[in-house]
Chain A
Amino acid sequence: DVKVTQSSRYLVKRTGEKVFLECVQDMDHENMFWYRQDPGLGLRLIYFSYDVKMKEKGDIPEGYSVSREKKERFSLILESASTNQTSMYLCASSPPLAGGPGEQFFGPGTRLTVL
């Protein structure tokens, strides 16, 4: 079974704090993704990575950065947390692209609250 794990299920932080969300996958997938999920807005792509040390901006990268030093680990960083970053954060991974739908395997999510 593919497993994608996220470091925390629930996190409460203060405005201005630096926040690290960690994601680890155990299926040797090249591609990893960070989304946020909000009611009425659905899943929105923040950043993705298709290789170690590679990163690409998604649809809403402002206020976030990422790090991928190892293939299995993809970190999302909120440099200075703000209340509008309160959300559910979902990490996903997918295997190499050789046709197919690009199925993504998701972690359980981290519910981040910024006070």
Chain B
Amino acid sequence: QKEVEQDPGPLSVPEGAIVSLNCTYSNSAFQYFMWYRQYSRKGPELLMYTYSSGNKEDGRFTAQVDKSSKYISLFIRDSQPSDSATYLCATSNSGGYQKVTFGIGTKLQVIP
């Protein structure tokens, strides 16, 4: 079993839709939960992160973590064609060397 599981999609939505991207993880030691965005032919970039459980909002993006169910979510409101990219969830421990464990990524296409 992979430490971080993510549906690869692809996911295709109309412009303006609410997008929900999800991951599950297996290691209870993970403390940081991240979302990276990767545009075609580019390296991934950190979009946002949360520490432990709870929500974090940044503009149209909301990251949510439920540690009891080991579930990570990213919501995108009012999706735009510029949001078309691959979204990778990622987790890491706190303290010491922090190995980051990535999901395989979900490819999202927002249709104008």
**A residues whose Cβ falls under 8 Å from a Cβ of B:** 4, 40-43, 45, 48, 50, 90, 92, 94, 97, 99-109
Contact = CB atoms under 8 A, between A and B. Distances in A.
A99 B94 contact: yes
22 contacts: A42-B6, A42-B103, A42-B104, A43-B88, A43-B102, A45-B99, A48-B99, A50-B97, A97-B97, A97-B98, A99-B94, A101-B32, A101-B34, A101-B49, A102-B100, A104-B44, A106-B43, A108-B42, A108-B43, A109-B41, A109-B42, A109-B43
Contacts of B92: 101-102
Nearest to A98: B95
Contacts, number: 58
**B interface, how many residues as a size bin?**
20 to 34
A42 B2 CA distance: 11
B14 interface: no
A70 B55 CA distance: 40
Contacts of B45: 105-106
Interface string B39-81: 0011111100101000000000000000000000000000000
What's the dominant secondary structure at chain A's contact region? Answer: loop
Contacts of A43: 44, 88, 102, 104
- Interface of B: prevailing SS: loop
A19 B100 CA distance: 26
A82 B8 CA distance: 27
Given A42-B102, A42-B104, A50-B97, A102 B32 contact: yes
A105 to B, nearest CB: 8
